[in-house]
């Protein structure tokens, strides 16, 4: 948990704390000294002198200050927590809560709840959040309801969770730009993400919009974008499903244009990948490639293969003069469909690096012994064998060598180069 020292010991914006006497009234000399000590403790804490700050706060508490006891106790709780002294921190929080101070008592309960949450103590955190609600300081209530909503979600109490969520991100939960706006925006993001995970897209959009009305938040913009992605997935999925041929009859829908269907399958697959669902993305490509309409299947294959090395750019050609697809095409096609292109690229560069290193070392050392060079070449040729595409590379070379030697069989044995 981040250090909270400087924040906990200050009043929130727009709130005047009863830390000094009413304007015009004389301030008792002792209370003024306690006020100065609280300021000193805060400055020490903000500058990282936590032990000294704790000592100053303890002087205020032990001095019997009535006006500044709550502030000092909360300050002590925060620095003890930052020092890792959890038990002492909670005792100080309790001291501040027991004062009933309108500002620092609910803030101490807030701090106590956050500490319990950090320790994974859900029941204790919920009890502290309820204490926050018990104080007549509505500025801390949204945070308390947010904490109680999370606790209810974790224990599976949907009704209680919904009640607390509504109190934080309901239609009238907070005024735009108010002091609670940041909490409302954070809670709205959390709530919207949970709704999206459950497939409740419309509800997620509504909650995200409420959060953005309270405060501008880039994280909420991302959630709202995710809502649009989910809607796009649904629309592209419907278009892709409509491309499947229907039984002939008077009510049969007209066939879908292959270009439209191809775009639907591609965009569906790519958005599923963006969502982080590579299995569904691969299934979308597979469905498109296996479509019963040859025109649609061909359109999808053309989209999968966009950017591939064209056959005419290779040196291989079938006997009829037409270029054959390179041996590596199926691996690239599968990598595109399965969202594993970075892995395939990494394998290729790793193999190239090893082969280059194996060949370059004897060359740089002017190695001339035939037996040593033969060993190095064998190691270089064997390098691809450990990859799934290695066997296809070796088989392709064997076939190239067979054709180059006039079609002689068994130029290289089966299983070459592993079995030589």
Cα angle for residues 159, 161, 162 (degrees, 5° grid)? 65
Pair (52, 182) in one structural domain: no
**Is 191 inside any structural domain?**
yes
249 or 222: which leads in pLDDT? 222
Residues 129 and 269 in one domain: no
Q: Give 100-155 pLDDT, tens digit per residue.
A: 999 999 999 999 999 999 999 999 999 999 999 999 999 999 999 999 999 999 99
Which of 85-94, 285-294, 390-399 is predicted with the least confidence, judged by mean pLDDT? Answer: 390-399
Q: What is the pLDDT of residues 173-210, one digit of tens each?
A: 656 667 788 999 999 999 999 999 999 999 999 999 99
Q: What angle do CA 86, 88, 94 make, to 5 degrees?
A: 105
pLDDT at 373: 78
* Burial of residue 398, with CB atoms counted within 10 A of its CB: 0-12 exposed, 13-18 middle, 19 or more buried: middle
- Provide the number of structural domains found in the chain: 4
Name 322's Cβ contacts closer than 8 Å, sequence gap at least 6: 311
Q: What is the CATH number of the domain that holds 144?
A: 1.25.40.10
**Band of pLDDT at residue 263, cut at 50, 70 and 90:** very high
Q: Which residues contact 417 (CB under 8 A, 6 or more apart)?
A: 378, 381, 382, 385, 394
Q: How confident is the model at residue 6 (pLDDT cuts 50, 70, 90)?
A: very low
Answer with the one of 119, 144, 168 that is the final residue of a domain: 168
Query: What is the rounded distance in angstroms from the CA atom of residue 265 to the CA atom of residue 230?
Result: 15
Q: Are residues 107 and 8 in the same domain?
A: yes
Q: Are residues 312 and 371 in the same domain?
A: no
Residue-level pLDDT at 415: 76
pLDDT attached to residue 19 = 32
- Can you list the alpha helix ranges (DSSP code H) found in 17-121? 29-46, 50-62, 69-82, 86-99, 104-118
**Which residue, chain included where needed, has tokens 């290289």?**
412
Residue 239 inside a domain? The answer is: no
Asked whether residue 392 is assigned to any structural domain, the reply reads yes
Asked whether residue 67 falls in the same domain as residue 128, the answer is yes
Under the banding of pLDDT at 50, 70 and 90, the label for residue 248 is low
The last residue of one of the domains, among 339, 368, 389, is 339
Residues 43 and 152 in one domain: yes
Copy the structure tokens of residue 117.
Answer: 């949450």
Is the model more confident about 97 or about 248? Answer: 97
User: pLDDT above 90 covers what percent of the chain?
Assistant: 64
DSSP notation for 317-355: --TTSPPPPPTTHHHHHHHHHTT-HHHHHHHHHHHHHHH
Tell whether 23 is covered by a domain: no
CB 73 within 8 A of CB 96: yes
Could you tell me where the DSSP H helices lie in 170-277? 181-197, 201-214, 218-241, 258-275
- Residue 209 belongs to what domain range? 177-229
Distance CA 118, CA 143 (A): 15
Residue 243 is assigned to a structural domain of this protein: no
d(CA 326, CA 317): 10
Q: Are residues 63 and 203 in the same domain?
A: no
Alpha-carbon span 172 to 170, nearest angstrom: 5
Euclidean distance between CA atoms 309 and 12, whole angstroms? 62
What's the whole-number mean pLDDT along residues 354-377? 78
Within a domain: residue 328? yes
Tokens of 187: 């809670």
User: Which of 339, 367, 401 is the last residue before a domain boundary?
Assistant: 339
Output the pLDDT for position 94: 97
311, 323 Cβ separation under 8 angstroms: yes
The Cα–Cα gap between 261 and 288 comes to 8
pLDDT(1) > 70:
no
Looking at the fold, whether 333 and 348 belong to one and the same domain comes out as: no
Determine which of 61-65, 117-121, 200-204, 223-227 has the lowest per-residue pLDDT on average. Answer: 61-65
pLDDT at 369 over 60: yes
With 60 as the cut, is the pLDDT of residue 245 above it? yes
Residues 8 and 154 in one domain: yes
**Does residue 224 sit in the same domain as residue 268?**
no
> What is the rounded average pLDDT for all residues in the chain?
86
Q: Whole-model pTM?
A: 0.73
Shared domain for 6 and 112, answered yes or no, is yes
Q: Is there a domain that residue 220 lies in?
A: yes
pLDDT score at 378: 85
User: Is residue 323 predicted with pLDDT exceeding 70?
Assistant: no
């Amino acid at each position: 948990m981040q250090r909270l020292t400087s924040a906990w010991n200050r009043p929130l914006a727009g709130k005047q704390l009863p830390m000094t006497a009413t304007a015009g009234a004389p301030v008792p000399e002792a209370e003024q000294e306690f006020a100065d000590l609280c300021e000193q403790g805060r400055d020490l804490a903000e500058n990282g002198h936590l032990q000294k700050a704790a000592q100053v706060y303890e002087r205020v508490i032990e001095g019997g200050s009535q006006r500044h006891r709550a502030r000092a106790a909360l300050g002590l709780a925060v620095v003890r927590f930052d020092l890792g002294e959890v038990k002492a921190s909670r005792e100080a929080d309790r001291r501040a809560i027991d004062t009933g101070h309108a500002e620092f008592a609910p803030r101490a309960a807030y701090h106590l709840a956050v500490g319990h949450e950090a320790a994974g103590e859900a029941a204790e955190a919920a009890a502290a959040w309820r204490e926050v609600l018990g104080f007549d300081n509505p500025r801390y209530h949204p945070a308390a309801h947010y904490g109680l909503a999370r606790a209810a979600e974790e224990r599976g109490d949907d009704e209680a969770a919904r009640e607390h969520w509504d109190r934080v991100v309901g239609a009238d939960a907070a005024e735009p730009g108010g002091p609670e706006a940041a909490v409302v925006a954070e809670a709205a993001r959390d709530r919207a993400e949970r709704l999206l995970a459950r497939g409740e897209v419309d509800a997620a959009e509504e909650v995200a919009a409420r959060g953005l009305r309270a405060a501008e938040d880039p994280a909420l913009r991302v959630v709202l974008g995710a809502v649009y992605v989910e809607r796009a997935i649904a629309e592209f999925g419907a278009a892709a499903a409509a491309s499947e041929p229907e039984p002939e009859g008077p009510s049969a829908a007209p066939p879908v244009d292959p270009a439209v269907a191809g775009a639907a399958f591609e965009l569906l697959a790519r958005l599923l990948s963006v969502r982080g669902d590579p299995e569904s993305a691969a299934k979308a490509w597979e469905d498109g490639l296996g479509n019963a309409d040859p025109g649609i299947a061909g359109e999808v294959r053309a989209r999968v293969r966009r950017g591939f090395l064209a056959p005419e750019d290779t040196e291989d050609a079938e006997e009829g003069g037409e270029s054959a697809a390179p041996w590596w095409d199926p691996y690239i096609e599968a990598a595109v469909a399965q969202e594993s292109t970075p892995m395939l690229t990494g394998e290729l560069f790793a193999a190239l690096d090893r082969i280059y290193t194996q060949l370059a070392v004897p060359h740089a050392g002017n190695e001339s012994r035939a037996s040593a060079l033969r060993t190095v070449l064998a190691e270089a040729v064997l390098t691809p064998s450990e990859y799934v595409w290695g066997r296809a590379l070796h088989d392709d070379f064997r076939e190239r060598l067979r054709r180059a030697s006039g079609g002689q069989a068994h130029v290289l044995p089966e299983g070459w180069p592993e079995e030589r």
